[in-house]
């Protein structure tokens, strides 16, 4: 992936750039909003990481300007201002995701991957498929190898979230946000409990497991190796 | 500017008002005098003219009936009776000879005339009417206008006296009022200066009169009360933070020092680092919670209020905490009325309920029962059957970092209920901690319901 990091704090920028480079991505860096806007405008990046508080032009202004110019590159706000209103404000400005500082690097990586590979909204599928697992979004029916699986509404939402991001790492926080609408960590094992319940229902009769635990990062739904 | 500064007295509002008041008084006096002058002297002159006309008429009549000698006789009789010397006559024969009267000469033109008369050594001004007589003679009848001039003079001096008195009264009154205003402003200024100098408990004096100054002073006092309250809260929070963050920071330091001293291999270093990161994580959680509470208490979030489905939020929160309850062998029961909609910040209310359930799970009895209820009237309750909170501590637990002695052993930041309290305050939710016999029952009456405060939908 080609990633642009717009961040004025040298230490955070170094941490992010080093991590992304080690993960095999091409990373450019800008230290103020205007430079960031200049670099991002040609649209050659797969994803943008933007700090909210930047010199010369702040993050909100940068993303607004980009969106006004028709640049649709997915953008993630990285900021110490992670209050409730700030998140909504950031998303309204045209950002696609929001991550409060301090953050774990695995969390940032998972979110960037999810953003960069997000399918365009126009191509909304009605049936999701991973290996022999099938989810009909209209009839709200899930089958594995032709066998119908009964899911609770929350389990259905969880599975849908995972299937839409099949092959990608999905963190606990992403699941709390996407499946439970929780924008803070309730410090309970609700995610783990639901994942294990879902596994039990999906992998009946010795079928190979589909949901994989990525240690220290999260979960990944993909076809068995 | 201080109203007490002598050099700036002419800049005070009181002085300006007095000046304006005086100018208006003066203008009023002048205008009134002008109108009075015009009305009275005009009237007097008209009276004089009427008298002249009447006299002329009588003399003409006399001349017509008895000829010029008769008129001359009448004139002599009038002059004989006039002691004040204000009447002037001239009866001239057709050849210009004076037949009677006290005027030496007079213009022989008919109509009104102002005559300068030198009568008795004193110059006088007369209003005269000339009339030709049948048969060629000429009659002039005049009256001295001195009484009118006297009246004018009298009016002018009266206006001067009245104006002067008004000016004096205005000055005295303005000075008194101004001094009162200045003195009260100075008193308020002095009181505020004491507050500014650090005597935050000092208040402005309020008299029994309840005039606008007292109302203003009352409002300023209320504002000072609020400021004092906020400052006390700020000091409390600062103390709390300094005190309660020292503990985890100390633990972190001890952990790192111990690692420096004792760690031999990479595994030990790794374990120490992971432990330190976990400790940092806890510290960051505390900061996040503090910031969140501060943000909620500032009230800025009220602008983002929108109606949301409280029933769905309650269901989700109960579901999220179910595994934790299960881990402690607790039964989590829900009785949630569907479709209850309230106005507020969905994220904050979610976190508030989550904190309440977290408390119920942690401090409730292991193997006990937790009940979440939501009535159609938007009254939400979370009840456990743990040790509960003694009535005398129920106010204190809503404060930041307050933890009951019994709860010190369980993990927690001591900020959960403080956030609940702040969110309830922001939404106007009636929050009460009640006895569940045994255990604690937290009751939230959302606005719009029968017990909630106003402001709901």
The DSSP annotation for A138-178 comes to: TTTEEEETTEEE---HHHHHHHHHHHHTTTS-B-HHHHHHH
Residues of A in contact with B292 (CB under 8 A): 83-84
User: What is the token pair recorded at B210?
Assistant: 């309840």
User: What is the token pair recorded at A53?
Assistant: 């508080």
In the Cβ-directed half-sphere of B36, how many Cα atoms lie within 13 Å?
Answer: 17
Q: Considering only CA atoms, which of B348, B313, B352 is closest in space to residue B334? A: B313
Closest CB from A82, A83, A180 relative to B320:
A180
Residue window 337-376, chain B: list those with CB within 8 Å of chain A.
345-348, 350-351, 354, 358
- The answer to whether residue B402 scores a pLDDT higher than 80 is no
Report the CATH fold assignment for A122-221: Arc Repressor Mutant, subunit A (1.10.10)
What pLDDT, on a 0 to 100 scale, did the predictor assign at position A158? 92
**Which of A117-126, A192-201, B232-241 holds the top average pLDDT?**
A192-201
pLDDT band at A119 (very low <50, low <70, confident <90, very high): low
- The answer to whether residue B121 scores a pLDDT higher than 60 is no
Closest CB from A84, A180, A181 relative to B301:
A84
Q: Which of A187, A196, A216 to mutate to test the interface with B (most CBs of B within 10 A)?
A: A187
Give Cα separations from B89 to B53, B73, B115, B448 (angstroms): 13, 12, 12, 101
Do the Cβ atoms of B89 and B141 come closer than 8 Å?
Answer: yes
Distance CA B407, CA B363 (A): 7
Distance CA B274, CA A117 (A): 32
- Provide the 10 A C-beta neighbour count for residue B125: 14
Task: Give the mean pLDDT of B367-371.
Answer: 90
pLDDT tens across A40-80, in order? 887 688 899 998 888 888 888 888 888 888 888 889 988 87
Q: CB A188 to CB B321 under 8 A?
A: yes
Task: Give the mean pLDDT of B75-80.
Answer: 86
Distance CA B121, CA A96 (A): 114
Residues of A in contact with B300 (CB under 8 A): 85
Residues of B in contact with A82 (CB under 8 A): 288
Residues of B in contact with A187 (CB under 8 A): 358
Per-domain residue ranges for chain A?
Answer: 2-116, 122-221
Q: What pTM does this model have?
A: 0.61
Residues of B in contact with A154 (CB under 8 A): 319
pLDDT tens across B139-164, in order? 888 888 888 888 888 888 888 888 88
pLDDT band at A84 (very low <50, low <70, confident <90, very high): low
Residue window 256-285, chain B: list those with CB within 8 Å of chain A.
284
Do the domains spanning A2-116 and A122-221 agree at the CATH topology level? no
Task: Scan for tokens 């401090």, then name that residue.
Answer: B363
Q: CB B350 to CB A182 under 8 A?
A: yes
Q: CB B323 to CB A184 under 8 A?
A: no
Closest CB from A102, A184, A189 relative to B351:
A184
Give Cα separations from B403 to B396, B397, B406 (angstroms): 9, 7, 8
Residues of A in contact with B346 (CB under 8 A): 181
Task: Give the mean pLDDT of B292-298.
Answer: 78
* Interface of chain A toward chain B, CB-CB under 8 angstroms: 82-85, 88, 102, 154, 180-184, 186-190, 192-193
- The answer to whether residue B7 scores a pLDDT higher than 70 is no
pLDDT band at B380 (very low <50, low <70, confident <90, very high): very high
Q: CB A180 to CB B327 under 8 A?
A: no
Q: Is B362 exposed, middle or buried (0-12, 13-18, 19+ CB in 10 A)?
A: middle
Do the Cβ atoms of A186 and B321 come closer than 8 Å?
Answer: yes
What pLDDT, on a 0 to 100 scale, did the predictor assign at position B274? 85
Q: CB A83 to CB B295 under 8 A?
A: yes
Question: In this structure, what is the dihedral angle of CA atoms B41, B42, B48, B50, given to the nearest 10 degrees?
Answer: -160
Structural domains in chain B?
A: 1-202 (no CATH), 212-296 (1.10.287.130), 300-445 (3.30.565.10)
Pairing of strands B369-374, B331-336: parallel
Residues of B in contact with A184 (CB under 8 A): 288, 347, 351, 354
The helix/strand/coil state of B134 is coil
Q: CB A84 to CB B348 under 8 A?
A: yes
Residues of A in contact with B284 (CB under 8 A): 102
What pLDDT, on a 0 to 100 scale, did the predictor assign at position A159? 92
Task: Scan for tokens 């990479």, then name that residue.
Answer: B266
Q: Which residue of A has its CA nearest to B299?
A: A85
Q: Which residues of B299-324 are buried (b: 16+ CB within 10 A; e: fewer)?
A: eebeeebeebebbbbbbbbbbbbbbb
- State whether residue B413 sits within 8 Å of chain A by CB: no
Report the CATH fold assignment for A2-116: Rossmann fold (3.40.50)
């Amino acid at each position: 992936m080609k990633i642009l990091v717009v961040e004025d704090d040298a230490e955070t920028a170094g941490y992010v750039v080093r991590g992304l480079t080690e993960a095999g991505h091409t990373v450019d860096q800008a230290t103020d909003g205007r430079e960031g806007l200049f670099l991002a405008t040609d649209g050659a990046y797969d994803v943008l990481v933007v700090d909210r508080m930047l010199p010369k032009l702040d993050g909100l202004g940068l993303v607004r300007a980009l969106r006004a110019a028709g640049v649709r590159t997915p953008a993630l706000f990285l900021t110490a201002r992670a209050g409730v209103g700030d998140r909504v404000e950031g998303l309204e400005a045209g950002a696609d995701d929001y991550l409060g500082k301090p953050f774990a690097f695995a969390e940032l990586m998972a979110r960037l991957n999810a953003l960069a590979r997000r399918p365009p909204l126009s191509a909304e599928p009605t049936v999701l498929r991973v290996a022999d697992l099938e989810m009909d979004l209209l009839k709200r029916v899930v089958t594995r190898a032709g066998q119908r699986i009964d899911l609770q509404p929350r389990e259905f939402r969880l599975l849908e979230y995972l299937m839409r991001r099949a092959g990608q790492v999905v963190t606990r926080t992403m699941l709390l946000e996407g499946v439970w609408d929780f924008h803070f960590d309730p410090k309970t094992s609700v995610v783990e409990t639901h994942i294990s319940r879902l596994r039990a229902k999906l992998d009946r009769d010795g079928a190979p497991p589909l949901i994989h635990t990525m240690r220290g990062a999260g979960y990944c739904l993909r076809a068995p190796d | 500017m201080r109203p007490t500064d002598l050099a700036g007295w002419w800049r005070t509002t009181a002085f300006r008002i007095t000046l304006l008041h005086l100018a208006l008084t003066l203008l009023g006096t002048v205008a009134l005098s002008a109108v009075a002058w015009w009305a009275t002297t005009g009237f007097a002159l008209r009276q004089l003219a009427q008298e002249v006309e009447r006299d002329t008429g009588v003399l003409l009549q006399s001349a017509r009936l008895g000829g010029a000698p008769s008129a001359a006789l009448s004139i002599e009789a009038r002059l004989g009776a006039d002691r004040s010397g204000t009447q002037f006559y001239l009866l001239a024969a057709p050849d210009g000879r004076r037949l009677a009267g006290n005027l030496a000469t007079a213009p022989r033109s008919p109509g009104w005339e102002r005559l300068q008369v030198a009568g008795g050594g004193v110059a006088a001004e007369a209003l005269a009417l000339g009339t030709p007589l049948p048969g060629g003679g000429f009659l002039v009848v005049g009256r001295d206008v001195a009484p009118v001039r006297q009246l004018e003079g009298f009016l002018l001096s009266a206006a001067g006296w009245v104006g002067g008195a008004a000016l004096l009264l205005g000055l005295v009154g303005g000075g008194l009022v101004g001094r009162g205003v200045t003195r009260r402003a100075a008193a308020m200024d002095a009181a505020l200066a004491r507050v500014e100098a650090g005597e935050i408990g000092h208040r402005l004096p309020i008299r029994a009169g309840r005039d606008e100054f007292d109302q203003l002073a009352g409002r300023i006092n209320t504002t000072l009360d609020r400021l004092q309250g906020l400052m006390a809260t700020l000091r409390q929070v600062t103390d709390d933070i300094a005190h309660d963050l020292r503990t985890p920071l100390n633990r972190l330091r001890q952990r790192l020092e111990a690692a420096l001293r004792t760690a031999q291999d990479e595994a030990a270093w790794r374990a120490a680092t992971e432990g330190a990161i976990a400790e940092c994580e806890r510290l960051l959680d505390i900061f996040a919670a503090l910031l969140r509470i501060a943000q909620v208490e500032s009230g800025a979030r009220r602008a983002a209020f929108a109606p949301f489905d409280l029933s769905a939020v309650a269901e989700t929160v109960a579901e999220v905490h179910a595994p934790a309850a299960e881990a402690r062998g607790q039964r989590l029961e829900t009785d949630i009325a569907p479709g209850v909609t309230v106005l507020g910040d969905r994220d904050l209310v979610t976190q508030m309920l989550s904190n309440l359930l977290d408390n119920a799970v942690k401090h409730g009895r292991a193997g006990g029962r937790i009940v979440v209820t939501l009535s159609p009237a938007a009254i939400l309750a979370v009840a456990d059957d743990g040790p509960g909170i003694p009535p005398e501590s129920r106010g204190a637990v809503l404060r930041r970092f307050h933890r009951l002695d019994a709860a010190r052993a369980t993990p927690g930041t001591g900020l959960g209920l403080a956030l609940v309290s702040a969110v309830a305050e922001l939404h106007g939710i009636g929050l009460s901690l009640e006895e569940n016999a045994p255990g604690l029952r937290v009751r939230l009456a959302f606005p719009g319901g029968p017990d909630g405060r106003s402001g709901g939908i």
